Amino acid sequence: MILHRVQNKNFFVETLAGLPNIDLRTKEHSPMMQLLALLLWPICPRFMQDYVTTLGSKVYMPSRLFHTEAGAYALIHEAQHVRDWETYGLWFVATYLLLPLPVVLTGRAYWEYKAYVAALRARIARQGGLWSTAQIEAIVAQF
């Protein structure tokens, strides 16, 4: 069990080191994230505990994900959002935030698709396997 934790911590640290454009912060220590959580409470009460949030190159992650395998894959996912922000700028923001309406292809769905593909590729490269059925169903439920 301890070896598994050390391996996950190393994977997390190595993943973060390979993403130089990421400014990783704990979500709980951010006054801005606390305010956002208050505003989102009616529609997303677990915003602080369950969601990683990226604004520009800053990635706000719940501290429970630090040094975990799930946290490493979340970093890879969020790094794709940072790359999209760097490449597309305000177009990325506008289509992610302003086009979340349920239509054939929403802006948010497109950007999330790219980010989940990045994390999935990393998982296949590292472990040669896919996510569990429960993890896939959790991703699909977001759309």
Give the residue-averaged pLDDT of 109-126.
87
- DSSP per residue over 17-78, as a string? HT-TT-EEEEGGG-HHHHHHHHHHTTT-TTHHHH--EEETTEEEE-GGGTTSHHHHHHHHHH
At residue 127, what is the residue type?
Q
Pairing of β 58-61 and β 23-26 = parallel
Residue 94 predicted with pLDDT over 90: no
pLDDT over threshold 90, residue 101: no
Nearest to 17 by CA among 76, 99, 61, 84: 76
d(CA 27, CA 66): 11
Average pLDDT along the chain: 85
Can you give the pLDDT at residue 97? Answer: 81
- CA dist 13 and 72 (Å) reads 8
Range of weakest confidence among 2-11, 56-65, 109-118: 2-11
Residues in a beta bridge with 23: 58
pLDDT at 55 over 80: yes
State the average pLDDT over residues 111-136. 82
* Residue 49: both structure tokens together: 């505990």
Half-sphere exposure in the Cβ direction for 34 (13 Å, CA)? 5
Cβ partners under 8 Å of residue 119, min gap 6? 73, 74, 76, 77, 80
For residue 135, the model assigns a pLDDT of 73
Q: Which residues contact 138 (CB under 8 A, 6 or more apart)?
A: none
Residue 28 has pLDDT above 80, yes or no: yes
What is the predicted pLDDT for the residue at 39?
95
The confidence score (pLDDT) of residue 51 equals: 93
pLDDT band at 42 (very low <50, low <70, confident <90, very high): very high
